[in-house]
Amino acid sequence: MSGEPSGELDGDELWTARPSVGFIGLGNIGAPLARRLATWPGRLVVHDVVPESMEKFTSRGSLGASSGAEVASQCAVICVMVQNEAQVRAVLEGPDGILATAAPGTVVAVHSTISPEAAVSLAELAATAQVDLVDAPVSGGAGGAREGSLAVMVGGTDAAVARCTRVFEHFAQMVQHMGPVGDGTRTKIARNLITFASYAVVGEAQRLAEAAGLDLAKLGEVVRHSDRVTGGPGAIMVRDRTGPMDPEDGLRPIFAHSATLAGKDVELAIQMGEDLGVDMPLALLAAQVLPAVLGIDIYEPPTLDPDRG
């Protein structure tokens, strides 16, 4: 992207000229986000390809629009929550698209999870109309959307992010400016890897517990309770870089202790799996990589049994 558009109104002028906030895409996550914006003082303008989705908003005082262009003719900031890159591009381009009527300096916030490269390409497209596009995926799920407790990870220029932050604060408890366009999406990808890779490990732990005759529902209650106390997997995300930890790093004693506990407990899980006949590939992998993950190499991981693959 080649910087900010030229010839734009300043933030106050644009909000005065087009005081409404737009929202395009009223699906499972989009609708609760838009509901949080229904009290926006300059009014909310909504658009969705399903008319019934808009009726839930227009019946309560929001304005319905027939196209992205109609939304953009009234709004300084437009949130987009559609399914994929093709749909984002469709609401931007053409005579009915946002870029046809958007004022210079308008900010389009794409909340859809697309690729970082797509975010950059779409931002370059928007810049041809002197519009700023930011990628702003969200984390927290449908529950967080309803409660207004989401985290928003934003990629864009400082000026563009400043213009849309007060909009995001209507439905988010955290707004993190991660860097230029594309970095919001890169953050979402890394964040979701933690969740979905953890699901795989949870499945392995459940198989182990089930083989031991344990109550899986009670195990789940223990895990959720202890993660609320400790912070769960994110508790180790306090360093500003990966790699070996410096011997003088103040966190080293804490991480060294964690590495020792990890080595012991993972080995116990592997042994338990062997005793119960449960395959434990993820535990074996964890035993190999955890020291490096923690920046400490202070214990010998178990040797992989070649017969276990």
Is 188 labeled as catalytic in the residue annotation? Answer: yes
The single residue of 56, 188, 218, 264 carrying the catalytic annotation is: 188
- Tell me which residue of 23, 62, 55, 25 sits closest to 41, measured CA to CA: 62
Q: Which positions are annotated as active-site residues?
A: 188
